[in-house]
Amino acid sequence: MMSSLKHVNPTVKGIKESAHSVLQSLAAHVTQEIAQVLAVCLHPELLGNKTLPLDVRLRAQRLLEVCEGGSVGSYTDSSGIPHIRQSIADFIIRRDVGVPSYANNVFISAGSQKGLMVILKLLASGEGDTQTGVLTPMPCPHTLPTLLDDAGMTLVPYQLMEDQGWAVDLSELHRALKCGRGHCNPRAIYISNPGNPTGHVQDWKSIEEVIRFAAAERLLLMVDEVYQDSVYGQGKEFLSYKRVLFEMGKEYSETVELVSFHSLSSACMGECGLRAGYMELVNMDPEVMYFVDTMLCTDISTPVTGQLALDLMVKPPKPGDHSYDTYTQEILLIRATLSQNAQRAHEFLNDLPGMSSQPAMGGIYLYSRLHLPSDIIQKAKIVEVEADVLYCQMLLEEEGVFLGAGCQNGETTGNHYLRLCILVPTDTLEKVLAQLASFHLRLIDKHPPTDR
């Protein structure tokens, strides 16, 4: 062979494997309204099909009007169809109780990760100890470390506080930043709210603290708010970073550079396969924003069906629309299932010896601590994998259940965790929990645990 491993881009070789190819295929569902509207947009002959609700057909007609040549097969502007960028801006204004939002600051991309990659690429500079660093929560979304590797940036970890339900701790942020400055140039902080995979939902005070910290330390703030529509913890509500920012006075609201991400691959939509998301850029240098569009150009444009679904996500059926009742029921069902599942899984896992979990307040995961027997930890060392990876492999082999290992979420404290997706039908969850318990109890029985 002419090209061998030594000729492969070192950045590519440096990317750590991330096992998410067997993702939540169970989580897929399409709300009926979106499925119908997209079907009509794909095959406009259906505009005359009276078995489809009128509001669906009118919506499809409106959306086809904003597609070039009236076809979902045309390219669009690289940053997204203007009409849809405006829909998103309107949604943000409604959500944030009047805080202004402008279509020109909204950038649509093929999945929120693509948008994140663009921002990371723009930020990335330097090498060695001048390399750009990003403060990253531990645990973090399991795809994030790979993205940072790919962009050539340094991951500067800050620990979330497990015993406080995975809350953010300001002194820990300061410690992490100080440490990071010793070997790189930290210029941004990443946070997800609701937390991925922790399910922690930040309150106003916590968000303010982070914003103040970012402002004082001159860090660009990147906030993953993809699970904003699934908050179920008692007394919890989703607060957007932007909303809090704008209540902090001009000193902050006119200066803090904030990028927030949302996506179709959220809890209530679950339209991951359609690949569309958006980011809103606040207080970004306009000259830099020009390059955001240029970078998005290399993909030419985001898939149109995805963009249309985004429009449907941010502008759902209204009372009086034929689809309203079905839509409302579907969303309520998803939210109820999620809440129920979160509660059930948390109680169940906490009851198992050798496991402890913080209750999830939002999001689609339960992140549970594993207190593994020392024999298992030893075994893992010998075969050179993380102990939680070994646990998950054994679970897969013995029970056919695939769960995520905490080390994929960047866990570095030497503790072990399990990541369970709770966006599944309730009876599926019961099956999974039963199989997990069966496996786990067998394991504990064979190897007494080190501690509880």
Please identify, using beta-carbon distances, which residue of 71 and 164 lies nearer to another protein.
Answer: 71
Decide if residue 396 touches another protein (CB under 8 A).
no
Residue type, 296: L
Of the candidate residues 94, 125, 204, 450, the single one contacting another protein (CB under 8 A): 125
To which H or E segment does residue 378 belong? helix 374-382
Decide if residue 61 touches another protein (CB under 8 A).
no
CB 431 to another protein: min, Å: 16
CB of 316 within 8 A of CB of 323? Answer: no
Decide if residue 142 touches another protein (CB under 8 A).
no
Decide if residue 284 touches another protein (CB under 8 A).
yes
Decide if residue 38 touches another protein (CB under 8 A).
yes
CB 190 to another protein: min, Å: 14
Distance CA 233, CA 222 (A): 24
Of the candidate residues 219, 349, 366, 387, the single one contacting another protein (CB under 8 A): 219
Distance CA 344, CA 105 (A): 40
Decide if residue 331 touches another protein (CB under 8 A).
no
User: Got the DSSP string for 173-206?
Assistant: HHHHHHHHHTTSEEEEEEEESS-TTT-----HHH
Of the candidate residues 57, 59, 66, 76, the single one contacting another protein (CB under 8 A): 76
Decide if residue 257 touches another protein (CB under 8 A).
yes
Residue type, 412: T
Structure tokens at 81: 């169809």
CB 86 to another protein: min, Å: 14
Structure tokens at 246: 């704008």
Q: How many residues does the chain have?
A: 452
Decide if residue 27 touches another protein (CB under 8 A).
yes
- Cα dihedral 74, 78, 80, 86, rounded to 10, equals -130
Which CA distances in Å does 379 have to 355, 374, 382, 451?
19, 9, 5, 18
Decide if residue 220 touches another protein (CB under 8 A).
yes
Of the candidate residues 54, 161, 170, 288, the single one contacting another protein (CB under 8 A): 288
CB 408 to another protein: min, Å: 12
Which parts of 293-312 interact with another protein (CB under 8 A)? 294-295, 297-306
Decide if residue 273 touches another protein (CB under 8 A).
yes
Which of the stretches 118-126, 348-356, 405-413, 415-423 binds another protein when contact is defined by CB under 8 A?
118-126
Provide the phi-psi class of 97: left if phi over 0, else alpha when psi is between -120 and 50, else beta: left
Of the candidate residues 61, 104, 131, 283, the single one contacting another protein (CB under 8 A): 283
User: Got the DSSP string for 301-345?
Assistant: ---HHHHHHHHHHHS-PPTTSTTHHHHHHHHHHHHHHHHHHHHHH
Contacts of residue 100, defined as CB under 8 A and 6 or more positions apart, other chains included, come to: 93
Which of the stretches 33-41, 93-101, 373-381, 439-447 binds another protein when contact is defined by CB under 8 A?
33-41
Which of the stretches 145-153, 236-244, 403-411, 415-423 binds another protein when contact is defined by CB under 8 A?
145-153
Structure tokens at 227: 């699970």
CB of 416 within 8 A of CB of 336? Answer: no
Which parts of 152-211 interact with another protein (CB under 8 A)? 181, 185, 187-188
Please identify, using beta-carbon distances, which residue of 108 and 377 lies nearer to another protein.
Answer: 108
Decide if residue 73 touches another protein (CB under 8 A).
yes
CB 54 to another protein: min, Å: 16
